[in-house]
Structure 1
Amino acid sequence: MYGWADSTAIEVLCHTEQCVVCGDLADGFHYGVRSCRGCNAFFRRAVTFGMQFSCRRGGRCPVDKNARCACRACRLAKCFAVGMDKKAVQPKREGTNGNGIQSQDNSFDQNDSELENRRTSPYFDSVQLTSPESTYSINHSIYAQLTDYTPLRSPSPPPECPFLLRLCYEFSEVKRRRKCMLCKSLEEILTEDCSIRDPATAEDFTVVFQTQMILMFEWVEKLPEFKMIHDPLDKTKLLRAFALRYMLLDNVYHTYELGYNDRLVFVNNNYIIPGQPSSNFNSCEVVNEMEICALMFGAPMQTLVSELVSIIHGRNITIGEIMTVRRLMLWNPGSIGLSSNAQAIASQASNNAMKELQQYLEQEGIEQSEQRLEFLLLYIPALTKHTKTMYEIVRLIPSFGKMSEWNSFMDDVLRGV
């Protein structure tokens, strides 16, 4: 009935989610991020051998599964940008063969190199090998700019920091990674321009939501109560109910941070203004395209903007309050058939979230805490209501002939909404 209910959420994710570096199919976590075997091997070799690369195009090369090998400098810089940890690369192991002679473990040199060499276009960049002991560098200012603008890790919270405050600390790092994952080139990553881009199309739902799905899983896996749930079926039900709520809240809060109150701005900075369709929909004759256009730019979106975006404009909503709304939406999914054990954990987790928010508001010296709590509790049902609008939109996306289909994992999640 549930397709992947007999597997854990993380196992399914590893088999269906995208590499955050190039967008190819990821096969698991490597050096701190979800990545494919190719990018994993590339990063490991580059760090292990202290490789130096230079870009001939000023750091503007696209890094995706169709062109990831075109420029190694830009590819490696993006590896760092999305959070790959150089320190997690293990030094080459040494062993002995049957004659007692030391030999290096070169399994990744042979196997992974073959994987990469089939796709590499070496004439796009120059490579220099240095000794393994040398400091890793890229022969271009890209890496220096990248580390200046996008630090590899956000400042760590104090060890005794409350859990809610820890989530707030991590949110800035998540936003940085989100930007890196959505950008198509290093030039986009390095720019500090936060201006909106273009009117959104249906394709933005696919691109943005698949990125947000990765970040949602990473966030949920950090919650101690989620780790206490051992039944994969319970986790599956929770995630199904939570997925679009998380995504909607993320885009609404991004709109709030940019200061807009008349539109919904996606986290890739494309936007929807009710009543102003994208030019891609101006001459639609196909029924499904007309329906999705009506949902995206008509009365349903106007109501969504009014009840979710405009209402919080100028209210000085804090990150702590948004993190609490996230937690409350996860732990209050409605009647979805959770086991008694999962229900008890969810109830306690919800209570903990409210208590921690009260403490957070007091510690931050924020006045009128009771009124703020009341507003948030009324805001959550509105989010849940408009999640249905989002679902009505995304359920039509696979019918677009000009768009790639949603993978089976995403489709399975949406069927549970």
Structure 2
Amino acid sequence: MISQKLLAFLNKQNEDECLCCGYIGKGVGVRCQVNSCRPCANFFKKTIALGLEYRCRRGNQQCEIKSGTQKCRFCRFQKCTKAGMILKIKKEDCKENESKKDVSLMKNINPTIPSTSSSEYSYNENSSDDQFYLKETQLYIKHHKVVEIITAIISGPPLLTLNSIFNPIYSPTCLQRMAICLQQFFDKWEIKPKEEIKINTPISFVDFIEFRTQSFKFHAEILMSLSEFNRLCHHEKTLIYRKFWPRFDEFSNVMLALQIFGYEGETCMIIVQNDQALEIGSDNKFPDKFFTEDPFERRTIMRHDFEFYMTELYRPFKKLKLDQIELSYLVTQILWSHKRRDDLSESTFCFMDSILKSAASELQNYYIYEKQIDNYSWRLVEITKYLAVLTQSATSIIDNIIKAKIMGQFGSYKWFPNNTVLCPLD
């Protein structure tokens, strides 16, 4: 009879070994075209998708990569490459020209990735994960371009001049300029008429993120349309943009829906595409399916966002019914009102205070002389409360990013490097 030790030895001989970290076990299989364990394969995929660059921990590029020990990421990726790891994708998910362009962009993002022939990116009939993985990778590449565009916009000249927009005889006030820029911002979304919008039709999560990614560019454009913002240096423009976009993004989501669907009725609307919207009735019943690929973890995260949007942002704002000047005042507060000084200079902080004082005086005159409201303090209090809710919502965005990262959502950690989808220019 064969002894137990000999039997264990024979079984171990039959088990495959990871060519990257040396792990031996039943979890080793053919991944990325070589025998590898799941952690090494995922590490290789993530590195290529995000274009990550590593440095050797010891500097000699000869670190030992061994299962069960802390691994140098630079040497680990080099070993994966030498072992022959190749990322397979489905070519039929995109046009042939776009596929070649995406692969080229991925190489440009990470110069350490070796050159590979087109035959290596072959069709894998059994790899359903690669199909969704490719789509998310393409979205990351598109966002990489968006970040470059944002940087170019902020670094460039003013997008609009007074002579090209306004009547040269008439000099608009601070809030009037903001009102014009806001209207141009909403027009850029090109949302279809109400009658052509599909309600509660499941949408791909990646398509939803791609649609929302447009807002980063639009945020930069509205800021560069303001003469006050253009007076700042590039460093301070970037700092203010980082603070501005999370709060303004929540506000713009509400306004975008209200401009299309109006202030009447009890339903809550969320624009998810230029021709699609999510409707939540007065009974707070959510659609059975948000996205075409809708795992429980993602649904849990998004449901919390939608509930906050519905109860704290959409419905209170709908009841308030702010006019254009009041909306402009709210956005002016979002842009120039900062609790912390950060790295802004003293002169810039004084400049911001002067803008806020001017906007407050203009709003007061508007209430007294145009709207002829004696007791307007209630509306000011409601605007201030709403501003606080927007700040709270911006904070919750970061919390949800952390939750999504822990649960492996938003593309398996693909949105959390520098220049991330949710935090551009960080």
TM-score w.r.t. structure 1 length? 0.52
Instruction: Say whether the 8 Å CA contact 2:415–2:421 is kept in structure 1.
Output: no
2:189 to 178, 181, 193: 178
| Alignment match, 1:310 | 315
When residues 283 and 249 of structure 1 are mapped into structure 2, their CA distance, relative to the original with a 3 A threshold, is closer
CA–CA separation in structure 2 for the residues paired with 1:192 and 1:206 = 22
Aligned to 2:145: 16
In the superposition, relative to structure 1, how do residues 310 and 224 fare at CA in structure 2: closer, same or farther (>3 Å)?
Answer: same
Determine the C-alpha separation between the residues in 1 that align with 2:352 and 2:194.
40
Q: CA deviation at 1:415?
A: 8.1
Please state if 1:211 is matched with 2:221: no
Shift, 1:18, TM fit:
8.3
Q: Which letter does structure 2 place at the counterpart of 1:241?
A: K
Note the C-alpha offset of 1:376. Answer: 0.5
Which of 251, 258, 279 is the matching residue for 2:289? 279
1:246 aligns with 2:375: no
CA distances 1:103-132 after superposition (whole Å, capped 9, x unpaired) = xxxxxxxxxxxxxxxxxxxxxxxxxxxxxx
Q: 2 CA distance for matches of 1:344 and 1:170?
A: 24
Residue aligning to 1:328? 333
Q: Which amino acid aligns with 2:209?
A: T
Contact 1:18 1:26 in 2 (8 A): yes
The CA deviation string for residues 243-279 of structure 1, in whole angstroms up to 9 with x for no partner, is 1111100011223332365434127352263652552
Q: Report the alpha carbon displacement of residue 327 of structure 1 after superposing the two structures with TM.
A: 1.3
Report deviation, 1:402. Answer: 9.3
Pairing of 1:54-203 with structure 2 (within 5 A): 159-179=170-190, 193=195, 195=197, 197-198=199-200, 202-203=205-206
Residues 124-183 of structure 1, C-alpha deviation per residue, up to 9 Å, x if partnerless? xxxxxxxxxxxxxxxxxxxxxxxxxxxxx999697233231233234333322221xxx6
How much has 1:332 moved relative to structure 2? Answer: 1.8
User: Between the two proteins, what is the percent identity of the paired residues?
Assistant: 17
- Specify the alignment match of 1:382 in structure 2: 389
The 3 A distance-change label for structure 1 pair 302 and 262 is farther
What letter matches 1:229 in structure 2?
L
Give the paired residue count.
Answer: 265
Q: 1:282 to 1:229 in 2, by over 3 A?
A: closer
Uncovered stretches (5+) of structure 2, i.e. residues with no partner: 1-142
| Offset at residue 16 of structure 1 (A) | 3.5
Partner SS state of residue 419, structure 2: helix
Does the C-alpha gap of structure 1 residues 362 and 330 become closer, same or farther in structure 2, counting only changes over 3 Å? same
Provide the rounded CA distance (Å) in 2 between the counterparts of 1:352 and 1:172. 21
Distance 1:175 1:255 in 2: 10
**Residues 303 and 174 of structure 1, relative CA distance in 2, 3 Å threshold:** closer
Structure 1: which 5+ runs fail to align?
1-13, 20-24, 35-82, 84-152
Following the alignment from structure 2 to structure 1, what is the Cα–Cα distance between the partners of residues 212 and 168? 29
Displacement after TM superposition at 1:359 (Å): 2.8
CA contact (8 A) 1:331 1:346 kept: yes
* Aligned-residue offset at 1:321: 1.4
Asked whether the equivalents of residues 332 and 359 of structure 2 are also in contact (C-alpha less than 8 Å), the reply is yes
Distance 1:307 1:28, change over 3 A: closer
Residue 407 of structure 1 and its aligned partner are, at CA, apart by 9.1
Structure 2 contact 248–331 (Cα < 8 Å) conserved:
yes
| 8 A contact 1:249–1:383 mirrored in 2 | yes
Partners of 1:335 and 1:262 in 2: how far apart? 37
Q: 1:192 to 1:415 in 2, by over 3 A?
A: closer
Considering Cα pairs closer than 8 Å and 6+ residues apart, tell me whether 1 or 2 has the greater RCO: 1
Task: Give RMSD over aligned pairs.
Answer: 4.2
Partner-residue secondary structure (3-state), 1:270: strand
Aligned residues of 2:174 and 2:359 also touching (Cα < 8 A): no
Amino acid paired to 2:235:
L
* Correspondence 1:263-412 to 2 at 5 A: 263-266=268-271, 268=274, 269-271=276-278, 273=280, 275-277=285-287, 279=289, 284=294, 289-298=295-304, 301-335=306-340, 337=342, 338-365=344-371, 367=373, 368-393=375-400, 396=404, 399-401=409-411, 409-411=419-421
1:341–1:261 CA distance, 2 compared to 1 (3 A): farther
Amino acid in structure 2 at the alignment position of 1:218:
E
Letter in 2 for 1:356: E
SS of the counterpart of 1:265?
A: strand
The 1:276–1:311 alpha-carbon spacing in structure 2 relative to 1, beyond 3 Å, is same
Distance 1:156 1:394 in 2: 45
Amino acid at match of 1:379: Y
Amino acid at match of 1:228: R
Q: Specify the SS of the correspondent of 2:329.
A: helix
After TM superposition, give the deviation of residue 391 of structure 1 in Å: 3.8
User: Which whole-Å deviations, capped at 9, do the CAs of 1:323-374 have from their partners, x for residues lacking one?
Assistant: 2111111212322513322222222222222222223334542534322112
Secondary structure in structure 1 of the residue aligned to 2:171: coil
- The answer to whether the 8 A contact 2:415-2:422 is kept is no
